[in-house]
Amino acid sequence: MTASSHQLSALAEVRAIDALTAGFPRHPDQWNAPHTSDAEIVRLQPLGSDTYLAATIDGITSEITGGFYRDLYTAGWVLVQANLSDLAAVGAAPIGLMLALSLNTSISDNARLSQGITDALVASGVPVLGGDLNDSQAPSLTACAIGLVQGRVVTRIGIQPGDTLWTTGPLGTGNALAIVRMMGLPDGLCPEAAYRPQARLTIGASVRPFAKAMMDTSDGPMSTLDHLARLNNVGWAVGFDADALVETTVLQAFRSAGLPVWPLLCGEHGEYELLIAVDPADEAALRAIAPTAVKLATATTEPGITLHLPDGRTLAFEGDFIRNLAARTNGDWAAYAAEFQAYGARLGLG
Amino acid sequence: MTASSHQLSALAEVRAIDALTAGFPRHPDQWNAPHTSDAEIVRLQPLGSDTYLAATIDGITSEITGGFYRDLYTAGWVLVQANLSDLAAVGAAPIGLMLALSLNTSISDNARLSQGITDALVASGVPVLGGDLNDSQAPSLTACAIGLVQGRVVTRIGIQPGDTLWTTGPLGTGNALAIVRMMGLPDGLCPEAAYRPQARLTIGASVRPFAKAMMDTSDGPMSTLDHLARLNNVGWAVGFDADALVETTVLQAFRSAGLPVWPLLCGEHGEYELLIAVDPADEAALRAIAPTAVKLATATTEPGITLHLPDGRTLAFEGDFIRNLAARTNGDWAAYAAEFQAYGARLGLG
């Protein structure tokens, strides 16, 4: 690994975004720089010095066309939760969602989509403000979540060596579904109906006084951790223990089927938990707010991610390998799966 | 025409939206009901009684896949202006745009898209706050514009008989491009590069103290006028004079080519001017703010739209016929064009 592999620019996605957006004008009162926050944060000057708008926009398309979600209920549910999760990661109080739905309006499945959106909104106590409906053969769903932050702002930036990183809940449910679909495994191994992530809005808002940084696991736990390392110029010593980290039902199902469990943590289809970095002195406060929180890693001065396995081995994990895999295999999911597995085997995770 | 044809529910699009969104929770402090405002308006309770969030979400997909826009620069430009135009129609001051771009990231045309977005933002003095980039074969572009309104709120509601309706500028440029594409006419008749609509942000904000109602012409002038009639339970006496209303270059090009000009006002691909309703006592104030404004219609107690032609004839225009045409012809653009032309001929507009 060269030094530059620890930088943000080692990621194909970051380079593509930067190339496309280089000329776009920015807001003079925007708090965050590109890539450094789950939601965009802008100080609302007319409304006082400590009031910030928080906004995020996120779509569900490839998860439907790629066959990960066969029930539009799931797509509707995740559309809502994915956007709210970004607000949770900056501790914002949601105002509401804007929806842009491109649908084949003549099919009856749209009632499932509508129900999934409704149930996710009701579960989160968040309204829809409005939207746009378009006719299209392949469904493409986009939402923009808008909220407010008053007081201290938390982004992905602020982690120092010695800080500890916690997940708000069990990991692996998103990757379990993605693996079942990509490998053509039986649906019953990990039913789609069990994948109902829930944005951690209350926890995100409550830890804002002391959290050093936050980011949700929408792109999978290890990719999230990798991103936080690059942005904060730290490394991570990760307690890579599936028994402590992975959701029990999914872990048992994978073990019973003789499947490796490390992809549940290293894949890129997430579960929308928050990863929260705190000073060790604030760990008790975090656990009081989030009793299900589990410690995942400790920040190190040396860059790079080191996995500490339960059997005592330590492995150097290259976050950019998996994070660049989709761009490198360019839509060839069989090649993606093969390279993914080969990487784990090479590392000694198999 | 039956009484119900004057109601909102006579429109297939309105019925489709209502069916999909019936169960969605609403915000207790939302100012506008569904369909009654170009942008959603929510009172921000924590920020004082007269501060409102304004938000809109709008996409560009069928204009690209349908071949209306052959240059992604146009798609980028219109994506920005379409969203800002919705903010203009409620008199909001923009904070910024959120972008969700689904693109084939490997093609060089994306530089044109990027430039179109940048130029439209710079021309409007509005920043991008952030966004989401996804890979897809067919481009699908969505933006959400967010702004603030402080003080009096203007929506599509508030028109009384006797009020007059004005357009902020010449009409027909959007329909000219759409007609050229749908009829397979030579590109030079109406060059795509001439279609650069500009959201009327300054006018929208300036007329807010006295405007009775506003709506932009994103769906074409006559469809906009039709919508305002349904929502306000009024009719319109329209001065249907192409010489007074249609942009000069486009009007001359169509006449030189022997093409009818009424579709420039009745088609559904708009030019993003604002239609502003005022009390006749405020017409001088409106013209001082918008010197290019032209009077289009006067509200009547009797429902229905009556076209007053320069030759002295009066015709009853059924707004729902054209507005339901896309749903009825279901993607068959040849059938759409044939029915559209036949309607004009039947009415005596040919």
| CA A175 to centroid of chain Cα atoms | 11
User: Is B98 within 8 Å of A51 when comparing Cβ atoms?
Assistant: no
Terminal alpha carbon distance of chain A:
22
Whether residue A148 has pLDDT greater than 70: yes
CATH for the B22-150 domain, from 3.20.20.70, 3.40.50.10330, 3.40.50.450, 3.30.1330.10: 3.30.1330.10
User: Is B57 within 8 Å of A27 when comparing Cβ atoms?
Assistant: no
Whether residue B102 has pLDDT greater than 60: yes
pLDDT for the residue A6: 86
User: Is B16 within 8 Å of A105 when comparing Cβ atoms?
Assistant: yes
- Cα–Cα distance measured from residue B350 to residue B346, given in angstroms and rounded to the nearest whole number: 8
pLDDT for the residue A4: 66
Radius of gyration of chain B (CA): 20
Q: Confirm or reject contact between B16 and chain A (CB < 8 A).
A: yes
For residue A128, give the nearest of B25, B51, B130 by CB distance: B25
Q: Where in chain A is the domain with CATH 3.30.1330.10?
A: 23-150
Q: Confirm or reject contact between B72 and chain A (CB < 8 A).
A: no
- Asked if residues B146 and A55 have their Cβ atoms less than 8 Å apart, the reply is yes
Interface of A with B in 49-68 (CB under 8 A): 51, 53, 55-59, 61-62
Contacts with B101 from chain A: Cβ below 8 Å: 20
B219 Cβ contact partners less than 8 Å away, ≥ 6 residues apart: B227, B268, B270, B323
For residues B333-345, average pLDDT: 94
Helix (H) or strand (E) holding A337: helix A333-347
Distance from CA of A226 to the nearest CA of B (A): 19
- The nearest alpha carbon in chain B to A63 belongs to B134
Q: Confirm or reject contact between B45 and chain A (CB < 8 A).
A: no
Contacts with B155 from chain A: Cβ below 8 Å: none
Q: Confirm or reject contact between A25 and chain B (CB < 8 A).
A: yes
**SS3 assignment for chain B:** CCHHHHCHHHCHHHHHHHHHHCCCCCCCCECCCCCCCCCEEEECHHHCCCEEEEEEEEEECHHHHCCCCCCHHHHHHHHHHHHHHHHHCCCCEEEEEEEEEEECCCCCCHHHHHHHHHHHHHHHCCCEEEEEEEECCCCEEEEEEEEEEECCCCCCCCCCCCCEEEECCCECHHHHHHHHHHCCCCHHHCCHHHCCCCCCHHHHHHCCCCCCEEEECCCCHHHHHHHHHHHHCCEEEEECCHHHHECHHHHHHHHHCCCCCCHHHHCCCCCCCEEEEECHHHHHHHHHHCCCCEEEEEEECCCEEEEECCCCCEEEECHHHHHCHHHHHCCCHHHHHHHHHHHHHHHCCC
For residues A218-235, average pLDDT: 98
Q: Confirm or reject contact between A310 and chain B (CB < 8 A).
A: no
Find the range with the poorest average confidence among A236-245, B57-66, B221-230. B57-66
CATH architecture of A23-150: 2-Layer Sandwich (3.30)
Question: Which tokens is A301 given?
Answer: 């001065």
Whether residue A244 has pLDDT greater than 70: yes
- Cα–Cα distance measured from residue A220 to residue A206, given in angstroms and rounded to the nearest whole number: 23
* Cβ burial, residue B341 (10 Å; 0-12/13-18/19+): middle
For residue B105, give the nearest of A16, A21, A105 by CB distance: A16
User: Is A130 within 8 Å of B59 when comparing Cβ atoms?
Assistant: no
Find the range with the poorest average confidence among A45-54, A79-88, B70-79, B315-324. A45-54
Distance from CA of A225 to the nearest CA of B (A): 20
Q: Where in chain A is the domain with CATH 3.90.650.10?
A: 164-347
* Residues paired with residue A141 on neighbouring β-strands, in sequence order: A60, A101
**Per-residue model confidence as pLDDT tens digits over A38-76:** 999 999 876 777 899 999 999 998 899 889 999 999 999
pLDDT for the residue B1: 40
- The nearest alpha carbon in chain B to A327 belongs to B135
More confident residue, A314 or A350: A314
Q: Confirm or reject contact between B134 and chain A (CB < 8 A).
A: yes
- Cα–Cα distance measured from residue B57 to residue A102, given in angstroms and rounded to the nearest whole number: 12
* Mean pLDDT over each residue of chain B, to the nearest integer: 94
Whether residue A167 has pLDDT greater than 90: yes
Terminal alpha carbon distance of chain B:
22
Distance from CA of B17 to the nearest CA of A (A): 7
pLDDT for the residue B106: 67
% residues pLDDT > 90 (chain B): 86
Q: Confirm or reject contact between B331 and chain A (CB < 8 A).
A: yes
**Per-residue model confidence as pLDDT tens digits over B11-42:** 988 998 999 999 999 999 999 999 999 999 99
- The nearest alpha carbon in chain B to A98 belongs to B57
Q: Confirm or reject contact between B159 and chain A (CB < 8 A).
A: no
Q: Confirm or reject contact between B137 and chain A (CB < 8 A).
A: no
Closest to B86 measured CA to CA, from B156, B164, B174, B9: B156
| CA A172 to centroid of chain Cα atoms | 11
CA dist list (Å): B277 to A157, A334, B166: 49, 59, 6
Q: How many CB pairs under 8 A join A and B?
A: 193
Whether residue B105 has pLDDT greater than 70: no
Contacts with A40 from chain B: Cβ below 8 Å: 96, 98, 129-130
Whether residue A3 has pLDDT greater than 60: no
Q: Where in chain B is the domain with CATH 3.30.1330.10?
A: 22-150
ipTM reported for the complex surpasses 0.90: yes
User: Is A114 within 8 Å of B59 when comparing Cβ atoms?
Assistant: no
- The nearest alpha carbon in chain A to B109 belongs to A20
Contacts with B96 from chain A: Cβ below 8 Å: 27, 30, 40, 42
Distance from CA of A349 to the nearest CA of B (A): 30
pTM for the structure as a whole: 0.96
For residue A40, give the nearest of B30, B129, B330 by CB distance: B129
pLDDT for the residue B49: 73
pLDDT for the residue B4: 66
* Mean pLDDT over each residue of chain A, to the nearest integer: 94
For residues B130-143, average pLDDT: 89
% residues pLDDT > 70 (chain A): 97
Whether residue A1 has pLDDT greater than 50: no
- The nearest alpha carbon in chain B to A139 belongs to B140
- The nearest alpha carbon in chain B to A65 belongs to B136
**Per-residue model confidence as pLDDT tens digits over B194-220:** 999 999 999 999 999 999 999 999 999
- Is domain B164-347 given the CATH code 3.80.30.20 in the classification? no
Radius of gyration of chain A (CA): 20
Contacts with A115 from chain B: Cβ below 8 Å: 23
Question: What does the DSSP 8-state code read for residue A239?
Answer: E
Q: Confirm or reject contact between B40 and chain A (CB < 8 A).
A: yes
Closest to A31 measured CA to CA, from A41, A16, A39, A22: A41
Contacts with A147 from chain B: Cβ below 8 Å: none
Whether residue B3 has pLDDT greater than 60: no
For residues A171-196, average pLDDT: 96
User: Is A142 within 8 Å of B142 when comparing Cβ atoms?
Assistant: yes
User: Is A128 within 8 Å of B24 when comparing Cβ atoms?
Assistant: yes
Whether residue B236 has pLDDT greater than 90: yes
- The nearest alpha carbon in chain B to A121 belongs to B25
Q: Confirm or reject contact between B185 and chain A (CB < 8 A).
A: no
For residue A132, give the nearest of B34, B57, B140 by CB distance: B57
